[in-house]
Amino acid sequence: MSSSQTDRSADPSCDGIKKRLDIVVVGGSLGGLCTALALKSLPQRHRITILERNPTPLLHNQGAGIVAGGDTLGFFKRYDRCNRPLAVSSQRRQYLDKDGEIVHRENMVQNMTSWDLVYYILRADVDYVHSAYCDVPVRRKEEGEVRHLHGHTVTGIKDKGERVAVAYEMADGGGTMEADLVIGADGPNSTIRAAMHPEVQRTYAGYVALRGTVPENEVTPKTREAFSERFTFFHARGIQILAYLIPGESGTLEPGKRLINFVYYTNFPSASLDEPSNELAELMTDIDGVRHRITMPPGKTNPAAWEKQRKIAREKLPPPFAEIVRATKKPFVQAITDVIAPTNEFMDGKVVLIGDALAGFRPHTVASTSQAAFDAMILADMLEGKVSRKEWKKQTLAYARTIQKRGVNMGNRSQHEDLPLEEHVRDRNLASRPREEEVWPEWAVADVL
């Protein structure tokens, strides 16, 4: 089983880290913030520096919905002090046919939130950033120190024996800082992973996710009903689309002010992202003529390219899905890719990878945020001595390897095979199985047993 507890009396490596550490977290998005929050809560009062390459103090809203899985909710229960509701609840799953009729339904409670709400709650908890999303908690004397440095692009790391030197660049120069522990939380394009394993590259899966949101009060009553308190899906050959409600502006959960969030997977065959097909290149070229490799930011999609997708949506999607795709005002595009590092620690354990930097999950797994939350929690437990280093490594690698492979299988089956509905339902239900119920396959843990 995937329990993260072990018998400390039987494993002397569970003693934990007694001294105060200088810790550098590379990446200031959700994974980096989860890690900083978990580590600053430890009794050693570690000194933590977050290095975020974005030049602005706050990351831009990604306009994305998030399924708040068990580890995400567990993380916020354990560490969050903002004390505000995090998610919209969905009571059932349902699948539509092309005409918009329900062809399968099952009761299943899930929680849906938004990237921006999670981000601002974490910023309030980590470094006391004020926003309209939540009240800032009172600073505690017994917690660790956190510095959040934006505009710092990490360019390399070097083993210095007892410590690690982290080199970075800024707009007005650059520098180096040393740390006892460096945590790569810098996403699927991780600089830290590239420094350790330059041969590991992101590979294109042959399809993209078209994404967007629509205010729930701006759609027809029938369409609003299709997605209210329901996680709704449609499958066809080469197409998968799903939608659910998420918090609205400033994280509001008030009915009528929430957003319908959709993720629409559709095939765009191409040999690679570096040499895209004409169709993929057109989709990934923005209104200013700049071609994006993996992600097209919200609001930058070329209207002519998006109009093609609006027409296809009307032809191929059930009416409720077609309506929300055609109504979104700031769509964005995510090329689906695969990447996974062979291991998660380097330089005698002084450098660690977590979350997407370790394994970039396909979105079908609804587990990317949960992976970051789990990795942050069990890393904190290992440093505190609640979990042995061996158990930490086993659990994080097994999770990364198993769910990454599952996402590849799910995506390939959904996009490139013609499956009966029950197969799609089975795959989706497997992706929703709680981590605690997983039995890790032998191939995922053989090198850490």
Average pLDDT over residues 411-426: 96
Residue where one domain finishes, among candidates 336, 360, 376: 336
Token reading at 151: 């505009």
Please check whether residues 146 and 256 belong to one and the same domain.
no
Please check whether residues 233 and 362 belong to one and the same domain.
no
| 395 occurs within a structural domain | yes
| 180 occurs within a structural domain | yes
pLDDT at residue 169 is higher than 60: yes
pLDDT at residue 3 is higher than 60: no
| 134 occurs within a structural domain | yes
| 187 occurs within a structural domain | yes
Of all residues in the chain, the percent with pLDDT exceeding 90 is 94
Please check whether residues 213 and 103 belong to one and the same domain.
yes
127 pLDDT band (50/70/90 cuts)? Answer: very high
pLDDT at residue 265 is higher than 60: yes
Please check whether residues 97 and 151 belong to one and the same domain.
no
292-327 burial, b at 16+ Cβ within 10 Å, e below that, comes to bebbbebebbbeebbeebeebbeebbbebbbbbbbb
Euclidean distance between CA atoms 17 and 178, whole angstroms: 18
**pLDDT score of 15:** 66
Please check whether residues 395 and 353 belong to one and the same domain.
yes
Please check whether residues 368 and 391 belong to one and the same domain.
yes
pLDDT at residue 165 is higher than 70: yes
Please check whether residues 124 and 219 belong to one and the same domain.
no
Please check whether residues 103 and 138 belong to one and the same domain.
no
pLDDT at residue 366 is higher than 50: yes
Q: 238 is in which domain, residue-wise?
A: 91-109+205-336
| 1 occurs within a structural domain | no
Average pLDDT, the chain: 94
| 14 occurs within a structural domain | yes
Please check whether residues 39 and 142 belong to one and the same domain.
yes
CB 113 within 8 Å of CB 65:
yes
Residue-wise pLDDT tens digits, 421-430: 999 999 999 9
324 pLDDT band (50/70/90 cuts)? Answer: very high
* Cα angle, residue 114 at apex, residues 324 and 185 outer, rounded to 5°: 130
Total structural domains in the chain?
A: 2
| 3 occurs within a structural domain | no
Euclidean distance between CA atoms 231 and 118, whole angstroms: 20
- Model-level pTM? 0.95
Residue where one domain finishes, among candidates 336, 358, 390: 336
Number of H helices, E strands in the chain: 12, 19
The CATH code of the domain that includes 414 is 3.50.50.60
The CATH code of the domain that includes 96 is 3.30.9.60
Residues 6 or more apart in contact with residue 210 via CB below 8 angstroms: 263, 264, 265, 266, 309, 325, 331, 332, 333
What is the CB neighbour count within 10 angstroms for residue 172?
6
**HSE-CB of 195 using CA atoms within 13 angstroms:** 24
Query: At CB < 8 A and 24+ separation, what contacts does 356-359 make?
Result: 356/31, 356/187, 356/188, 356/190, 357/27, 357/31, 357/184, 357/185, 357/186, 357/187, 357/188, 357/190, 357/192, 357/193, 358/184, 358/193, 358/396, 358/400, 359/400, 359/401, 359/403, 359/404
Average pLDDT over residues 316-322: 98
Please check whether residues 330 and 219 belong to one and the same domain.
yes
Residue-wise pLDDT tens digits, 347-356: 999 999 999 9
Euclidean distance between CA atoms 307 and 312, whole angstroms: 9
Residue where one domain finishes, among candidates 336, 362, 394: 336
Of all residues in the chain, the percent with pLDDT exceeding 70 is 97
Q: What is the DSSP string of 338-365?
A: EEE-S-SEETTTTEEE-GGGTEE--GGG
The amino acid present at 6, given as its one-letter code, is: T
Please check whether residues 147 and 95 belong to one and the same domain.
no
Token reading at 401: 């390897």
Residue-wise pLDDT tens digits, 5-50: 333 333 434 567 889 999 999 999 999 999 999 999 999 999 999 9
Please check whether residues 417 and 374 belong to one and the same domain.
yes
